[in-house]
Amino acid sequence: MSTWNMPPGVSTNDIPGNGPDDEDGPLTIYVSGPMTGLPDLNFPAFHAAAEQLRARGFDVLNPAELNPDQGATWEECMRVNIGYLSLSGDAIALLDGWQNSRGAQLEHHIGRCLGMTIRTLGEWLEE
């Protein structure tokens, strides 16, 4: 069994919502949606969602920022994403088409099992 390790040069205090002063800070929302097979791995949609959520005061975990190397394998990216989601996420924002994404379905399942609040991006933006 392998263990998950932080990327080189990153500590848990570097993760939004996980620093020493964040105990009562903003909710950390993980953005989940389809990437595989889409132009630019759908990074523009992820970046737009992160920008909109941050503008509303949320801390955001954006897989397009966590895995900027578009040449990384699906498995490599999911290991990083699941680590951040499970260790630092409070909630999940689902992008359109998430139901058709193997990775987003897995993230949704993990979020449900961990008791996270899960809403569509539109629902988060309506708040």
Give residue 35's identity as a one-letter amino acid code: M
Handedness of CA 88, 6, 62, 72 (dihedral sign): negative
- Classify residue 91 as left (phi > 0), alpha (psi -120 to 50) or beta: beta
Residue numbers in the chain where pLDDT is lower than 70? 1-24
Q: Burial, 120: exposed, middle or buried (Cβ in 10 Å; 0-12, 13-18, 19+)?
A: middle
- Number of structural domains (the chain) is 1
Instruction: Please report whether residue 117 resides in a domain.
Output: yes
Instruction: Please report whether residue 33 resides in a domain.
Output: yes
What CATH number has the domain bearing residue 119?
Answer: 3.40.50.10400
pLDDT of residue 25: 84
Instruction: Please report whether residue 42 resides in a domain.
Output: yes
pLDDT of residue 117: 97
Q: Which two tokens stand for residue 13?
A: 């205090």
pLDDT of residue 17: 45
Q: Give tens-digit pLDDT for 29-65.
A: 999 999 999 999 999 999 999 999 999 999 999 999 9
Q: How far apart are CA 17 and CA 12, in angstroms?
A: 10
Q: How far apart are CA 98 and CA 35, in angstroms?
A: 9
Scan for tokens 């909109």, then name that residue.
52
Instruction: Please report whether residue 4 resides in a domain.
Output: no
What's the pTM? 0.81
User: Domain of 71?
Assistant: 28-126
Instruction: Please report whether residue 107 resides in a domain.
Output: yes
- Classify residue 60 as left (phi > 0), alpha (psi -120 to 50) or beta: beta
pLDDT of residue 81: 96
